[in-house]
Structure formats: structure tokens, C-alpha cells
Structure 1
Amino acid sequence: MTGFTIKQSFIVFGLGLGVLVFVVWLRRGGLQADNKRILRLIALVIGYAMMLGIPFMARGVITSGYIAYPQTFGRFDVDWAEPLELVKERQEMLATNTRLRYGDPEEVLGSWNWLIPWFQSNVKQLFPFTVPIGLTIVMLFLYLLGQLRSRNDKQDRLIGLWVLIPMLLMVLIWFLSAPNIKYIQYVLWIQASVMTMLAMLAWYQIAWQWRIYAVFGVMGLGLLYVGYLILSLQAYPLPPGPDNGFYVRPMPPIKVMITQSGDEIHTPDSHIRQCWNIPLPCTPVPHTRIFYRVPGDIRHGFGLSPKDTQ
């Protein structure tokens, strides 16, 4: 059995990459092909997008009532759909915590005062953040230097940088929406890898053996870095946790809420709105009109009374 999912933070990158491929296809005379071939290509792209997109949206409706939760568009009028105001509150909480952990939403989202603490925190994350960005900058410098020495036409010198456009667009959207490094580190490393490849191609006048040596040199530095973490900091990889390899989740203070249907729902009684190890049923966003779809049986899920779904 095969399954798949779509990471919403990847959509911008994927669309940007698709547009870039289309532009390159046009530059190479794609429209000069016969009409049947073009129509087959368009049908293939649309069919593939529908094959992935429709099940993804259906899954979203089944699990949350939204086609792309936690986005607010595409809400279906079903009794398990989270109220729109709570979805907006969750988005606000996400935007706040990814900038300044446990910060006040009005203060964080209403100014740029979070920027310096955010940068100071992320720059300490060497492998996910600092190393790929530093590598990208160094390789960009080498690429531009190599292009200046090139005899190619000026119009063709910087065409290789086009491939960075989808990644830079993704980084921009990430920074403006939910700038947590875990959402973007794969793009930063792809960007660093692509920039390294472009730099090597720009210095084509250097013997290929030396370029291979450079690649292995970069890989060696990466292995040394991993060894440094393991031996000196003992920070990577994490040792197995005490609970069959897992780490014990924290237990926040518990608040018991009685719903209008008479059921008990647990919720964290602290500013850390995570259930963590709180016994089920638990929700970080309590609501008095939550009810069991089948009384007393958690397996069938929960719903909200009609007033909350309006």
C-alpha cells in the first residue's frame, strides 16, 4: 500500500519550479512542437496534479473540514470542522511562535522587534541554517567570479541563477509567514547544492580532477562537522530515549473542561498550548460544544454543535 502527502510549505517552491521549467521549455522552442504533443503534455500535467491534489484535499476535509488546513479557505459545512475563528487563532499562534517562542501575538506581529532575537537564535543552528547559507554565499561569489572570466555573452552569463528563483521565492514566503528553520532547511541545502554545482560549472577552465577534489573536500568538511557534533557536543544524533527509544513528553498542568453534552475534555492549563503527555481526550483549543460522535467512544472522533460551525 502506498501513500503520499503534500507539504504546504513546499507548494510555493513547487509552483515556482514549475513556472521556471515552463519558461526554459519556451526558450528551447517548446511551442514549435506539433499541437498534439503540446496538448498531451498539458493533459499529463493537469492529470498528475489532479491525481495528487484531489486525494490530498479530500483527506483534509475528512480530518479537519478544510481542504488545506490550517488555511482558512475551502471550509466544508460538516459537524467536525473547526470554527473559522479558531483556525485564525491557530494561524496567529503559529506565526507568533515561529518568530518568538511564547511571545505575545500583538507585540510580535505588530512590530519587527522579534527580528534580532530570531536571528541570534537561528544563527546558532549551524547545520540547518548557518552552514548552508554560508556555503551558498561563498559559492555564489565563486560563480560570479567565474562568469566574469567567461567569454560567453553577457545575456547567458547569469542564466544559471534562474534556478535559484523558486528557492528564493520559497524563502521569502517562509520568512513572511512562519519563519521556523525546520520548515525551510531542506530548501537552504538544495540552494547550497545547486550553487555549488553552478560554481563548478562556471570554472570550466579548471581541470575536472580539481573540481572533483573540491567536491570531496566539501564532503569531508561536512563529515568532520558531524564528527565534531557527535564526539564533542554529543548532540547529533540524539541518543535513544528511555521509553523504548522515545523521550518522555512533558506533562503540563491539566484543566478539565465539562462540555455542554456533559463530557470531560482535558486541556493544558498553561501558556504552552500543547497537550504533550496529557491523557486523552485532550485539545489545546477547548470548546464547550465539543461532543463525542458516538457517546463515550473516542474512536469515532468528535464533532461541534451547529452553532459553532456557522
Structure 2
Amino acid sequence: MPASKHTHAPALLVILAFATVYIVWGSTYFFIQKAVHTLPPFLMGAIRFITAGMILFGWCALKKERLFNPQHIKTAAITGILLLFIGNGAVIWVEQFMPSAMVAIMVSSAPVWFVLLDRPKWSENLKSTSTLSGLLAGFAGVILLFWNEISSSLHSGNQQQKLSGLLLLVIASAAWSGGSLYSKYRSEGGSSTVSTSWQMIAAGLAFLPCSIFSGELTHTRWESVSTESWLSLLYLILMGSIAAYTAYVWLLQVRPATQVSTYAYVNPVIAVLLGVLFANEKVSWVQIAGLVIILGSVLMINLAKYRNSRN
């Protein structure tokens, strides 16, 4: 896998892209749970990604970008399957029976997978004390952030089902990181927006057979789907997929992968802050400690990457 050179990008665009990924994806755990409350998970995934992909595809067509490059389509399809079908699909599936706090914790292991799977950067990342310390501290901070939910969750419900869900999330996190790195190193030339649209279309089409074989299409009663689920799905299409995922794919091309992966630590922070602001949720001192540790870990990782870029 050849190393990828970072494309120069305006600092303001990079900041806006990070802000979009951090804030929007921090809210998607909540909206996924709302969407799958009355929409079957595979069907929801198919509708979400095919719709978002086609909207983005139409936008690229209006801009007269090159849409049909076989090699680029192949790379995008593999990336979409790994990230959106396996990675995001597992999250959609387990949020039917697992609390979003537990899902957020498992998803936050992605930065560790980025380091382990990013072979071209092993010599840089594995020798960087700041990067490794930041990764470990960030994961510890996420655990502290959801410590109360972890304790209550482990003593309630179907433990076998939860263990299966945790294993699925580990696989999903590895697939997401591997797919992100594949996209970073194999996406040579072409529009990142076109690539993103093909990724979402490929993932959406992959969800369809699962929906058909599981009986979702034949057993879904469309009149029973709540307005809340439809509105949540709309938010996931417009903000979670078109805005945030497009920003994420672009960031992978212009910034180091470990730096981009810090979204997995910041998203739970955003989720907690949204709960405090809009749902009157209370924050404990343990959670505050977790927030401080997470933000410190992100700072450590970013400072390490900044120093490396200056050398």
C-alpha cells in the first residue's frame, strides 16, 4: 500500500471539516436509535445511503465532474462496503438492543485500529510518545464519560446478546479504520465528492439484499413508521451522510489518518454536551474528568502531528 502525500488545503476549510465531523457525528448515535425505533435497520441503511449517494451524484453531474471511471468506482465501492455497510451497518444493527453509550465506547476504539493498520506510518506513529499516549488517554476518557451507563448496562438485559454486539462492534471498528486507510492510499486523482457518492451508493445497494432476505421489505408496514423516524432518517441523510461523511472523506486526503480519527473521541463529548443542553441531562464529576482527558488526548495527538509536519 503506497504512502499518500497530504494535499495542501486551506486551514479554514480543514477547521470547518473537522467541526462538521465532530459535531454532526456526535449527534448521529441519538438519531440512529430514533430512526430504527420503527424502521428496520437494513432498510433504513439502504434508504439512507442510496438517497444520500444519489443526491450527491446529481450534484456532481451538475458540476460536470467525471462520474464513470472504472478504477475509481472500484476503489469507492470497496471503501463504501468497509466503512458504511460493515462499519456503520453494525452500529445500526446493535443500536436496536444496546445503549448508545456502549456503542460510542466501542466505536471510539477506531483510532487504535488506525495506528495498528496504517503500515506506512508505523515508524512515525509507533515511535511517537505523544500519539500513543493521546490514543490511550482518549479511550480511557471515553470509558470515564460513560462509566455510569457501563455499570448499569453490564448488570441488565441479555448478556449473551450484548457480548455478540460488542464483538460485532470490534469488527466494525476495524473495518471502518481499514476502509478509511484504503480510501486514503488508493484514491489517486479524481473528485473526492464523486468518490463519496459511489461509496454511499455501493453501501446502500449492499444493504438491500440483507433487507430482502431478512424479510424486512415484505413485513414492513409503512403506515406504522413514525414521523420521528422519518425526520431522524432525513437528518442522517442530509447531515450525517452528505455533510459529515463528505467532510470526513476529504479530510482523509489532506490530513494524517490518526489526526482525522480523533473524531471517535470527540463525538461522545458532543453527544453528552447535546444531552446537557437540550435534554436537561446531568453531568457527574467522573464525566467531567472524562471530558477533560478526552480533550487533552486530542490536543496531544494534534500537537504530535503538527510537530511532525514542521520537521
Q: TM-score, normalised by structure 1?
A: 0.33
Return the structure number with greater strand share: 1
* Greater radius of gyration (CA): 1
Bigger RCO (CA 8 Å, 6+ sep): 2
TM-score (norm 2): 0.33
